[in-house]
Amino acid sequence: MQAEGATAYADAARASDAVGFEREDAERTLSLTVSYNGGPFCGFARQPGKLTVQGELEQALSLVMRRPVEVVCSGRTDAGVHALGQVVSFNVSVKELESRSLYSLRRSLNALTHEDITVRTVEEREPGFSARFDAQWREYHYHICLDDTPPLFMRDFSWFVHADLDIPAMQQAARYLEGEHDFKSFCMAASAVGKPTCRNVHEISLSRETIMGEEVLTIKVVGNAFLHSMVRTIVGTLVMVGRGLRKPEWVSKVLEACDRTAAGENAPAAGLVFWKVQY
């Protein structure tokens, strides 16, 4: 499916500033919990002429609602990044809600969207709920394959580092990143210009798991909010420590530098899953 349909709708909607229904009728807010395999998508955010998760969701919603629908997401994801529990919100009128059940809406959306998107839940929220602004914290999981041969079942969902990793050193390094810090060094440089770059990272924990028989290091990162490519830069930086290229203490210097070039490289998109949002 192409995103152009939804974009055309959305443009029309922005032009009329009415998003398809009269403002006085805009009384209900719905949210979707959405999983996607990020592989085929040019990221979450709608882009004209490109396959995006937002484009797919908005096109499906617009078809079902017979009017342009725009969604707000809890966190944009880059091309190739997956999601287990992305949340999006949008408004509907009382009438629109009366004419269909949430269950049938979910079924329609799953029938209409790309096969790499699954709408897990459709819920009614408090009026005015925003998937973005009402989020208390967000959780990401990054998977690194620890086997000495390439992963098969986890191939599309992990980073094959192909090196022994000193996991205790990585965990020690991660401690420097927990808490409230200026994460400018961990933000894609162009995105950080003139914007606040302080964030509160509640937790970074590393655990070994066996997934489908393959050895995986899962790096769980929880925080109030995240900068552009922040989790992948955190992972790339921790892997520098894990490979013995840097000491754990180096990470505090990276933070202090407030300079993207001080940190490690972005870890590949495929290893990252936007796991969960707490409201």
| Bind-site residues for substrate | 140
78 catalytic residue (yes or no): yes
Q: How far is residue 218's CA from residue 70's CA, in Å, rounded to a whole number?
A: 34
Which tokens belong to 17? 């500033």
Instruction: Give the footprint of a copy of itself on this chain (CB under 8 A).
Output: 35-37, 82, 84-85, 106, 110, 116, 118-120, 147, 149-153, 155, 157, 211-213, 273, 275
Would you say 118 or 252 has its CB closer to a copy of itself?
118
Taking the least distance from each CB to a copy of itself, the nearer of 102 and 188 is: 102
3-state SS class at 129: coil
Helix, strand and coil in the chain, % to nearest 5: 35, 30, 40
d(CA 50, CA 2): 7
Give min distance, CB of 120 to a copy of itself, in A. 5
Closer residue to a copy of itself (CB): 82 or 232: 82
Residues making up the annotated binding site are 140
- The active-site residue out of 11, 17, 25, 78 is 78
User: How many Å separate Cα 212 from the centre of its chain?
Assistant: 24
- Residue 272, beta-bridge partner list: 142
State the minimum distance, in angstroms, from the CB of residue 11 to a copy of itself: 30
Closest CB to a copy of itself among residues 155, 195: 155
Compute the least distance from the CB of residue 139 to a copy of itself, in Å: 11
Q: Which parts of the chain fold into alpha helices (H)?
A: 4-16, 53-65, 94-98, 102-112, 167-175, 189-192, 230-242, 250-257
Helices first, then strands: H and E counts in the chain: 8, 10
Residue pair 169/248 in contact (Cβ under 8 Å)? The answer is: yes
Q: Closest separation between CB of residue 92 and a copy of itself, Å? A: 21
Q: Closer to a copy of itself at the Cβ: 186 or 275? A: 275
How far apart are the C-alpha atoms of 91 and 73, rounded to whole Å? 13
Least distance from a copy of itself to the Cβ atom of residue 149, Å: 5
Please list the active-site residues: 78
